[in-house]
Structure 1
Amino acid sequence: MDIGFIGLGAMGRAMARNLAAGGHAVKAWNRSGGAVEGVDMVTSPAEAFQADAVMTMLSDDDAIRSVVLDPGLLHAASRGPVHVVCSTISVAFARELVAAHTAAGLGFVSAPVLGRPDVAARGELNVLAGGPPGVVDKVRPILEVIGGRIWDMGPEAPTANAAKIACNMMITMAIEAMAEAVVLTEANGLARDHFFELILGTLFGSRSYQVYSANIAAGTYEPGFKATLGFKDLRLAMAAAEQVGRHLPMLEAVHRRMAETVQAGLGERDWSAMAEFTINGGRQS
């Protein structure tokens, strides 16, 4: 398949490389340039949209709006590609994208992904696919290249975005839960690595607990998923809760803690750095 790809951050770069290695013809555009093995770099996002399918892995709603919607790329895409948005975006903006693609006569699939750059490099992302079944089926071959599993989120694309936001919200809650547990156990003489050995071997053996307990145990937070992006995703969750008229106290707590993390200058560190504020009584270590 002839694929256009827009957005070559740590995740997008791995995804584009895997698509090319899987035998697809990939042409990519990135705001900051760069090169990816097997990928043909083009000089404009409009060129990337001249394809059978276009995947975008841009950082947020505003980036997609400025790169895709504002320049009118949807109406200029002469080959009528299916546009697959893999970014974590707001539910409201996903609805706007559905309307914009319908007006332009293009297929649209929301396909946000679960996984860090190492998972993307192995082609083992969990892909949350939302959109009309016939449209999703058209791009399923390329989703299978980037993903270890494709999860059907139903015929309405924004459902996938709501699911992804909820997943990221729950990861931050897990980070906060581990931090609060460390407060109790360390104060009573139990080293955090020993406590994490207990919880991983009994009650909480999921990948989120495995990855982020290791960060908290070592007290090191080299970025896998930056705190600035985590804060963005929690803002999306807050907005989604507001849209349905609900008050979510745990969400509000982790949103506040992530805000403190970013405000303290740790926005480029891993989002699990928020744990240190709880462990250290609201102070940066």
Structure 2
Amino acid sequence: MITRAGTAGRDRRRSELREFLMSRRARVSPAEVGLPDGGARRRTPGLRREEVAVLAGVGASWYQWLEQGRDISVSPQVLDAVGRVLRLSNTERRHLYVLAGLNPPAAEVEPSKRDMCEGLRRLIDTWMPYPAHIMDRYYNCVLYNDAAATVLGMRPETTWNCILDFFTDPLYRSRARNWEHNARTVVAQFRATCAANPDDEGFQQVLADLTGASAEFAALWEERDIEDAGQIRKELDHPLVGLLSLESTALQVPARPDLTIVLHTPLEEANTAAKLEWLASPEGRRGAMYPVAG
């Protein structure tokens, strides 16, 4: 049964669909799609409905009904054809799916958003003196700040894959007090990511590398636990300042769905914030220059 609120929401969505398609159609000139512009006789800004229909390979009446927000059956293939004619961005294409009542396709990185690393570098550097790093979709480390190096042991000679390092880096494991507890969460979150990308060979390669490198990972993977990414409490025993209690939070930037930002926030226990500030100070940096066990 459709409730009054459901009917109102559907009507709003159809109204927005109509206005959205009309506005996108008005942006595209006939010349951009290889049609004559018609000169001064052309009254319609952008493309006509009939022109969109022909270029998308759909019936003129059907497209008119779509733009009017009528209750018609739509398919992803047809919406993609309309999106190509209207030159929709990936974000706009996903929006069209939502307005048409379909599950949107996976988010993609817009070409104009690919060069965001400088801005993201500024973000994690501003997070100092707290650790922060950025991973790609396969858990490969893209960037990390100085605190991540000092506290988490991130360094050029490791694999640069965060989940592989979690299981195989002896420096990190020597510091992680609650490693066994967090290992279950890490594997469960990785399984959720793999399950969402079943045909992605990149994840299959990471899985093969992990299974071959760590018997502990392989055993946990067989338990088939699954969990969404979120926050993880980390207790680290740092050789210079002792216990550090941190909470890591995984964040995604909608414009860069291929990247995950991991920010570590100090918890109140063990005076962690003050210890991190000292480690980032000139005195703390000098202390880190000398070999210390662990």
Alignment TM-score, normalising by the size of structure 1 = 0.27
Greater gyration radius:
2
